[in-house]
Amino acid sequence: MMKKMIYCLALCACSHLVSAQQRPVYQDETQPMEVRVQDALRRMTTEEKVALCHAQSKFSSPGVPRLGIPELWMSDGPHGVRAEINWNDWGYANQTNDSITAFPALTCLAATWNPEISAIYGAAIGEEARYREKDVLLGPGVNIYRTPMNGRNFEYMGEDPYLASVMCVPYIQEVQKSGVAACVKHYALNNQELWRDHIDVYVSDRALYELYLPAFKAAVEQGGVWSIMGAYNKLRGQHACHNDLLLNKILKQDWKFDGCVITDWGGAHDTYEAAINGLDIEMGSYTNGLTSESAFTYHDYYLANPYLKMLKEGKVPMNTLDDKVARILRLIFRTGMNTRKPFGSVCTEEHYAVARTVGNEGIVLLKNSPVVKKGQPLLPLDASRYTKILVVGDNATRMLNQGGGSSELKVKDMVSPLAALQAIYGDKVMYAQGYAAGRPMYGREEKIAPEVTDRLRAEAVDKAKEADIVLLFGGLNKNHFQDCEGGDRLTYGLPFGQNELIEELQAVNPNLVLVLLSGNAVEMPWVEKVPAIVQGWYLGSMGGHSLADVLSGKVNPSGKLPFSFPRKLTDCGAHAFDALSYPGDSIKQEYKEDILVGYRWHDTKKVPALFSFGHGLSYTTYTYGKPVASAKQMTADGTLSISLKVKNTGSVAGKEIVQLYVGDDKCSVLRPVKELKHFTKVSLQPGEEKEITFEIKADDLKFFDETAHRWKAEAGKFKAYIGASSTDIRGVVPFELKD
């Protein structure tokens, strides 16, 4: 902070001494960006240019001190700005002024299906990053949910490329209004953590272009993102952080990306490839193969002295360097040298309100069946019906901001579900831990003694016998081999003996509500016995309040799943083949399900999901009118409108997510039964009815033609499906695309 204050004061002082005409052009923000960039380039030595291309500490890269061009400061932070890390190792700096707001993880944001919520999320986290003097916020993550075993799915936005695209754009735009660059990650195909640093992914062009690239493309072309983070893995034999296809041909040539490509930390592996294949800034490399960096300096990075040597020897063109530096300068001018950026703020009541709102809209009510004795659903909790409420579960009190790898957050405030429920229901609430999950750990799993597990379960079951209702807060956590960077899950089932706990609790008290806190789907062998199930995600600082708001009925749940819940692991497309499909053979991997990911697989292969993509219940009911098309045919340059009315037929206000899918009845290539193309979230008072109109264009009908290497819509018959989920279809409209 002191360095930046000195820089700003010096710049201000110089402005009084040097007239506007004498000031260097690159410092003049009234000049066009490219004029400033070229002026700065002309003034820099080759050594100064190379210095910009690699780290100078764990989370910063150099500027040009001689020219007053500041360094870049980066931070992990897709759902909160990470605590300060030491200059030259991974230890925390233990500062006292780096606590922040933990916002809900991005799976929860995707589950809101609400771009307006994404915008306020981006604005709030951008303000926190700006206050913490960060230039680059390493997020959002938009990798596609291919398998529920991926330990990092909680950082991403689900299985559908259209949903991820729509949700990431406003996040990016609002973050960057604070003068902080979003850094969309991990580009591309980082769909598992096991062997992530070297697994070589082989995927068809169709799957690449139709599923795994659209959200990145939207981030660039619609969001105007200023930086992209390369992935650890390889694609077709070449590391993603210096991959000619991904970076040169697609990102920079086809999409006209003018920003900066930054490695994931340690993602660079070769100087020549890094020089010519589109990498701009190298971060986090280990050049001596050790975990300690005392034996070398940052000048030993691939894009440091080795790159300078190759440039001087003529082994790589000098224009590769100028292109990299031009991109880095744009990033610096947009962030560190942007004198118009706001000051930012952190841990404000407004930010806490945003976190709570995101959680309220993202929580998904999966199941809410009537209990025979009561004759009505368990949720929302009616305080007049219950005098003894038993809260069970490690996750009812656990700090779920801790662990998880780079997403670990140091919070100023954290409201637990237990505390939030006690604030509403007072001494009606009892607590039993029920199961033990061990400390938040990274790199290994803490083992819990069987006698401890048995004792905690027995205590919870005994208390459940006396309770009117049981609320079990279970799921996963941020320990290694669960929802955590650096390793995939070991099993699809719930850990820590939770299955046994659920069975025993239900046996003594049928009034059981299960609240799953996780970023992943889980196996549910007891699903028919548990009357109410809530998907609660990782909700951050105000997570307890959000859960209490929904459980109590203060907020009507309106979230819907951004990914499918397979009944068993082999029902997921990635796991329906041999091990080469997942997890690979440790060297190579083939995406054998191809374009059939998530609901596309369940629909096309007729393998029903346990809970479908787009599924989510409410405390009210909605009726859908018959959808009507503006015409029976459309042309390639035309538009087809589909309208319908949606009515709240219940007794409480709510928000419904109306989804439009399109299916191609007959095509020259395999296509899914249907694909999400539009959606809208509509607010309705009891008895209120609104008309919704969707517009279908030819782009909504296209697939990627691998032979012609272009997007193509074939003339013929299509269907528009209007649904409350991918399987809850309320109306179908046939239409035809003419030549």
- SS3 for 114-173 is CHHHHHHHHHHHHHHHHHCCCCEEECCECCCCCCCCCCCHHHCCCCCHHHHHHHHHHHHH
Beta strand segments in 361-499, E: 364-368, 389-392, 429-432, 469-475
Instruction: Report CA dihedral (261, 266, 267, 271) to the nearest 10 degrees.
Output: 80
Is 664 designated active site? Answer: no
What is the arrangement of strands in the sheet containing 588-590, beginning at the earlier edge strand?
238-239, 234-235, 200-202, 588-590
Query: DSSP readout, 305-325?
Result: HHHHHHHHTTSS-HHHHHHHH
Residue 576 in tokens: 């329906």
SS3 assignment, position 519: coil
The SS3 of residue 462 is: helix
Instruction: Note if the bond before 188 is cis, omega within 30 degrees.
Output: yes
264, 549, 603, 700: which one is catalytic?
Answer: 264
Q: Residue 380 and residue 423: Cα distance in Å, rounded?
A: 16
Nearest to 190 by CA among 137, 145, 254: 145
Provide the 8-state DSSP code for 381: -
Exposed/middle/buried for residue 243 (C-beta within 10 Å: 0-12, 13-18, 19+): buried
Q: What's at 189, amino acid-wise? A: L
Angle between helices 33-43 and 318-334 (to 10 degrees): 130
The angle subtended at Cα 183 by Cα 597 and Cα 700, nearest 5°, is 40
Alpha-carbon 695 to chain mean position: 27
- Taking the CA atoms of residue 346, residue 351, residue 352 and residue 358 in that order, the dihedral angle to the nearest 10 degrees is -140
The distance in angstroms from the start CA to the end CA of the chain is: 61
The catalytic residue positions are 264
